[in-house]
Amino acid sequence: MERKARRLDDEALWSYALKVLGGRAHSAGELREKLRRRAERVAAVEEVLGRLKDRGYLDDRRFAENFAAARLANERLGRTRVVRDLRQRRVAPSLAEHTVRQVYQDVNEEALIEEWVRRKYRLAPREGLFREDKDMAAAYRRLLRAGFRAGEVVRVLKRFSNNPELLDSFEPPEEPIEAE
């Protein structure tokens, strides 16, 4: 049996918003969704969001910058994955793309891919890393899911491959066009 959350009046909604933000940073879109589920009055959601923004507690630009920088520093993910993750967190698409472009502007993505391969396959000897074609294909798919671009993935994997010609046959997926 699913229990419905009790509806909150304006002040309780404000307290709830502060509690949510105290747990971890949220985008305005994420917080809006959470508050809508709990608010007695729909208009109170926008009022609370406005108060939070006025006090500097809620800032999508800052959230996106911190999120992208953390994903790069801690998880070493590719650009497209970070943009996708920001969009899932309800950050505006243009802001997500712009922020990721800024955070990754000095990043050599091929070096990042090579580091990722070495980290994920650190126990395997380099010459036996992708002995079978299926292993190469699996690494290719994993790198695409990690947010790296197909062309760069192929170039890096060719350095590790016993059969680099196999990579020429991989069909690159549609890559999002980055607005300049």
Question: H helices of the chain, where?
Answer: 10-23, 28-38, 42-54, 60-70, 79-88, 93-103, 109-120, 133-145, 150-160, 164-168
pTM of the prediction? Answer: 0.83
CA dist 21 and 178 (Å) reads 30
- Cβ-proximal residues to 81 (8 Å cutoff; 6+ apart), any chain: 71, 145, 146, 147, 148
Query: What is the average pLDDT across 84-90?
Result: 98
* Band of residue 97 on the pLDDT scale cut at 50, 70, 90: very high
pLDDT digits (tens, 9 = 90+) for 33-80: 999 999 999 999 999 999 999 999 999 999 999 999 999 999 999 999
CA-CA distance, 90 to 7, in Å (whole number)? Answer: 23
Residue 5: the pLDDT is 72
- The residue-averaged pLDDT of 82-103 equals 98
Average pLDDT over residues 117-129: 73
Residue 1: pLDDT band by 50, 70, 90 thresholds?
A: low
Work out the pLDDT band at 180, boundaries 50, 70, 90. very low
Is residue 177 predicted with pLDDT exceeding 50?
no
Q: What is the pLDDT, as a whole number, of residue 168?
A: 72
Mean pLDDT of all residues belonging to the chain: 88
* C-alpha 53, offset from chain centre: 23
